[in-house]
Structure 1
Amino acid sequence: MEDLVVIGAGPYGLSIAAHAAGAGLDVRLLGRPMASWRDNMPEGMYLKSEPWSSNLSAPDGRHTLAEYCATLGQVAEHGTPLPIDTFSAYGMWFARHAAPEVEEVTVTEVTPEGDGFRVHTAEGPSLLARTVALAVGVMPFVHQPDALRDLPPGHSSHSSGHRDLSRFAGREVAVLGAGQAALETAALLAEQGARPVLVARRSRLNWNTLPQPLERPALRALREPHSGLGTGWRSWVWSELPWAVHRLPAATRERISATALGPAGAWWLRDRFERRVPVLLGHRLRRAVAVGERTRLGLTTRSGESVVLDVAHVIAATGFAADLARLELLDAGVRAALETVGEGRAPELSAGFESSWPGLFFAGLLTAPSFGPSMRFVHGAGFTAGRLVKGVLRRLGSRGPRPGSTGLARRDRAASPGHHRPGVPPGHPKTYLR
C-alpha cells in the first residue's frame, strides 16, 4: 500500500509529488504531464502571469522557470510575456528532473477501502493508497452557458477545446466572455483569418496595466507591492496569505473566491484585440438555435432590447466551475458525504488541504473557496504542495507507521494486486487534522 497517490500531473500534481518524495513518502504520480497545457490551449497563446510567479515547486527551491529557460539560452524576463508552449515544456522538464516518475495512466475511479483508498485505472491493476491527493486540474469543471447545451454537436465549443484555431479561417465566430481566455481566443481567431465578435455581459472590458519595474523606490514599492497575482496590497494578500484567507468565515471565503481578481485582459494583448475584434458589450445570451449549419444567438441588452446574431460557430470562454458533482472519478458516496464550503459545491478543507473524509486531499480549483484566488493560478502550487504534504504526514502519523515502509519514494513498483469495491463504510468518521 502506497503512502500517497497523486492523481493529476499538472503544475499542482507535479509539485505535490516532488515535495512528497522529498519528505520520504512512498508516492505514486498518475496522469499525463501538463496535459491541459499541452492539449487544451491554442497555439500562439502566452502566459499571463509573470515568469517569476509561474514556478512549479520543488522542496529545495530549484528547478524554476528561469532555470529551464537558461538551459535554452533564453531569459525569463519580468514584463515580457512567455509562450504557453515554453511553459508546457518547462513543466515536462520539471517532471523529468524534480518529480517522481509520472505513470501515464487514466484513473477511472477512487473508492474507499479500509483505512485508505483503491485507485482504479483503465490500463491495469488498481492501486491501494493510505492517502490520495486529487490534483485533477480544471478540465473536469468546464463551464458552458445553459443556452448552448441543447445545440447539436459542432455548433458550439468551450475555449479549452481548441489547440488549433486555424480551422475557423473565413468563418464568423462568436466568442462569449470577458476574461483573458475570451480576449486572447478572439484575437488569435482574427489573426488566423476568422471573423470573430466578442459577446460579453459586462458593460466594459478590463485591462491589466503595464507591470511596474521590480526595482522601484522604497516608498512606491511599499505603496504597491509586487505579488504573484499582481501589484497592490489586495493582490498581495490573496497571493501571499492563503492561510489567512482560510481562517475567514466560509461565506467570506466564498465571496472572495467568486469575486476577487475578476475578468481582465493582459496589457500586451490590448492592442492586438482592439485593432481587429468587434465587441457587443452589455449583451446577455438568452437562447441559441441551430439553423442548418449555422447558429443563431438571441441576445438581450441592458435596456431590454433584443438582438439576433447569426454565426458559423460559438466558442464559450466562460471559465470553469468548482463543483464536486463533476468530479466523477471520485466515488459518489464519498462525494455525497464530504462537507462543503458554506452553500457552495467545493469541499471544506483543513489547513493541510485534507477534506472531511480522512486521507482524502484536494489541490487546485476546488480549493479556491477554502484558500482564496491564488489556488486558480500556478502561483498557488508552492503553498499547496508544502502544506498538503505536511497534512499527509500528519494523517499518516495518526494511523501509525506502515509495516515495511522504506520511507523512500520509489520510481518502479508493481501495482497493488486484487480488486475490491466496497460501498461507503457506515458511520465513516468526518474528522480534520489541524
Structure 2
Amino acid sequence: MYDLLVVGAGPYGLSIASHAAAAGLNLRVFGRPMASWRDHMPRGMFLKSEPWASNLSDPRGRRRLDVYCAAQGVAARHGEPVPVEMFADYGLWFARHAVPEVDERTVTRVAPCPGGFEAVTDDGQVLHARTVALAVGVMPFVEIPAALRGLDASLVSHSSHHSDLIRFHGKDVTVIGAGQAALETAALLAEQGTRVRVLARAAHLRWNDAPPPWERPWWQSARSPHSGLGPGWRNWFYSERPGAFRRLPERTRTRITASALGPAGAWWVRDRVERAVEVLLAHEVTSARAVPGGVRLEVLSRANGSHPPLRSVETEHVIAATGFTASLDRLTLLSVDLRDSLSTMIDGSPEVGRDFESSYPGLFLAGLVTASGFGPAMRFVHGATYTAGALVRGVRRHLRVRPLSGAIPAPGRPSPSETPTRAYG
C-alpha cells in the first residue's frame, strides 16, 4: 500500500509529488503531465501571469521557470509574457527531474477501503494508498451556459476544448465571455482569418495594465507591492497569505473567490482585439438552436436605449469561454459514497482544512477546487507552492511520519517491492 497517490500531473500535482518525494513518502503519480497546457490551449497563447509567479514548486526551489528558460537560451523577464508551449515544456522538464516517474494512465475511480483508499485506472488496475491527493486541474469543472447546453459539439464547444483553432479558418465564430480566454481566443481566430465576434454580458471590457517595473522607488513598492496575482496590497494578501485567507469567515471567502480578479484581458492582447474583433457588450444569450449551416442565437441586449432589445445572431460555431465551476458534484471520479460523505461550503465546493485535507480523513484536494478555502491564488499556478508544502505536511501528519535526516531520494521508477499487483477478478 502506498503512502500517497497523487491524481493529476499538472502544476499542482507535480509540485505535490516533488515535495512528497523529498519527504521520503512511498508514492505514485498518475496523469498526463501538463495535459491542460498541452491539450487544451491553442498554440500562440501566452501566460497571463508573470514568469516569476509561474514556477512549479520543488522543496529546494531549483526547478524554476527562469532556470529552464535560461537553459533554452531564453530570458524569462518581468513584464514579458511566456508562450504557453514553453510553459508546457517547462512542466515536462520539471516532471523528468523533480518527481518520480509519472504514470500517464487515468485514474477513473477513487473509493474508501480498509486502511485508506482504492484507486482504479482506466485499464482496470487497482491500487491502494493510505492517502490520496486530488490535483485534477480545471477540466472536470468546465462551465457552459444553460442556453447552449444540449447542442451538438460540432456547434458549441468550450474554450478549453481546443489545442488548435485552424479548423475555424474562414468560418464565422462567436466567442462568449469577457475574460482572457475569450479575448485571446478571439484575437487568435481573427489573426488566422476567421470572422469572429465576442459577445459579453459585461457593459464594458476590463483590461489589466502593464505591470510596473520590477525595480522602482521604495515608496512605490510600499504603496503597491508586486505579488503573484498582480500589484497591490489586496492581491498581495490573496497570493502570499493563503493560510490567513482561510481564517476569514466562510461567506467572506466565497464572496471574494467569486468576485476577485474578475474577467479581464491582458494588456498585451488589447490592441489585437480592438483592431480586429467585433465586440457586442451588454448582450446575453437567452436561447440557441441549430439551423442549417450553424447556430442561431437569440440575444438580449441590456444596453440602455437598445432597440430592439432582442436580436438574432447566426454563426457557424460558438466557443463558450465561460470559465469553470469547481463544485463537489463534478468530482465524479470519487465514488458516490465518498463524494456524498464530504462536507461542502455554501458555494458547493468541498470544504478543506488547514492542510488541504477534506472532511474525509486522508483525502486531500488541490488547485481550483480549493479556491473558496484558500483564496484566488488557487486559481493560478502561483498557488501551487503554498499548496504543495502545506498538503505534504498534512499527509505526513496523517501518516505520523517522522522528519527524515537522510538524503532526498532521486526520482525514478518504483522498486519491485513498491509495484502494485493487479486485482483478481
The TM-score bracket by the shorter chain reads: over 0.9
**1 CA distance for matches of 2:332 and 2:419?**
23
1:282-306 CA-to-partner distances (Å, cap 9, x unmatched) read 0011000101231000010115710
Judge which range, 196-205 or 152-161, deviates more. Answer: 152-161
Selected match of 1:363 from 357, 361, 366: 366
1:311-330 CA-to-partner distances (Å, cap 9, x unmatched) read 01000000111011111111
* Counterpart in the other structure of 2:229: 229
**2 CA distance for matches of 1:376 and 1:28?**
25
- Residue pair 2:22, 2:408 contacting (<8 A) in 1 also: no
- Aligned residue type for 2:313: L
1:226-276 CA-to-partner distances (Å, cap 9, x unmatched) read 000000011101010111110111111111110111011000110111000
- Aligned residue type for 1:384: T
**2 CA distance for matches of 1:49 and 1:410?**
31
Judge which range, 346-355 or 297-306, deviates more. Answer: 297-306
* Counterpart in the other structure of 2:41: 41
* Counterpart in the other structure of 1:208: 208
Identity %: 58
- Aligned residue type for 2:368: L
**2 CA distance for matches of 1:24 and 1:296?**
57
| Aligned pairs (5 A) from 1:128-277 | 128-277=128-277
Shift of 1:176: 0.2
| Aligned pairs (5 A) from 1:254-403 | 254-302=254-302, 303=304, 305-341=309-345, 343-397=346-400
Q: Quick check: 1:411 aligned with 2:413? A: yes
**2 CA distance for matches of 1:275 and 1:101?**
46
Shift of 1:163: 1.1
Shift of 1:420: 8.8
Shift of 1:407: 10
**2 CA distance for matches of 1:147 and 1:21?**
46
- Aligned residue type for 2:53: S
- Give unmatched runs, 5+ long, in structure 1: 422-434
* Counterpart in the other structure of 2:103: 103
The 3-state SS of whatever aligns with 1:118 is strand
**2 CA distance for matches of 1:345 and 1:192?**
40
**1 CA distance for matches of 2:119 and 2:148?**
34
- Residue pair 2:208, 2:265 contacting (<8 A) in 1 also: yes
- Aligned residue type for 1:187: A
Shift of 1:85: 0.1
- Residue pair 1:26, 1:410 contacting (<8 A) in 2 also: no
Alpha carbon RMSD of aligned pairs, Å?
1.7
- Residue pair 1:127, 1:415 contacting (<8 A) in 2 also: no
**2 CA distance for matches of 1:344 and 1:294?**
35
- Residue pair 2:158, 2:321 contacting (<8 A) in 1 also: yes
- Aligned residue type for 2:421: P
1:334-370 CA-to-partner distances (Å, cap 9, x unmatched) read 11110111x2211111110000000000000100010
**2 CA distance for matches of 1:204 and 1:94?**
40
Q: Number of residue pairs matched?
A: 414
| Aligned pairs (5 A) from 1:7-18 | 7-18=7-18
- Aligned residue type for 2:373: S
- Aligned residue type for 1:241: R
**1 CA distance for matches of 2:378 and 2:110?**
23
- Give unmatched runs, 5+ long, in structure 2: none
Shift of 1:124: 4.9
**2 CA distance for matches of 1:149 and 1:377?**
27
1:167-210 CA-to-partner distances (Å, cap 9, x unmatched) read 11111111000000000000000001001100000000000001
* Counterpart in the other structure of 2:83: 83
- Aligned residue type for 1:360: L
1:376-429 CA-to-partner distances (Å, cap 9, x unmatched) read 0000000000000000011111xx89xxxx9968632454336499xxxxxxxx
Judge which range, 408-417 or 58-67, deviates more. Answer: 408-417
**2 CA distance for matches of 1:186 and 1:158?**
13
- Residue pair 1:135, 1:364 contacting (<8 A) in 2 also: yes
**2 CA distance for matches of 1:217 and 1:170?**
50
**2 CA distance for matches of 1:374 and 1:67?**
23
**2 CA distance for matches of 1:415 and 1:370?**
35
**2 CA distance for matches of 1:227 and 1:420?**
52
- Residue pair 1:4, 1:28 contacting (<8 A) in 2 also: yes
**1 CA distance for matches of 2:187 and 2:139?**
23
- Aligned residue type for 1:364: G
| Aligned pairs (5 A) from 1:20-31 | 20-31=20-31
- Residue pair 1:125, 1:415 contacting (<8 A) in 2 also: no
* Counterpart in the other structure of 1:115: 115
**1 CA distance for matches of 2:132 and 2:174?**
41
- Residue pair 2:46, 2:82 contacting (<8 A) in 1 also: yes
**2 CA distance for matches of 1:335 and 1:123?**
23
Shift of 1:126: 1.1
**1 CA distance for matches of 2:153 and 2:36?**
22
TM-score by length of 1: 0.93
TM-score by length of 2: 0.95
Shift of 1:279: 0.5
* Counterpart in the other structure of 2:64: 64
**1 CA distance for matches of 2:3 and 2:293?**
53
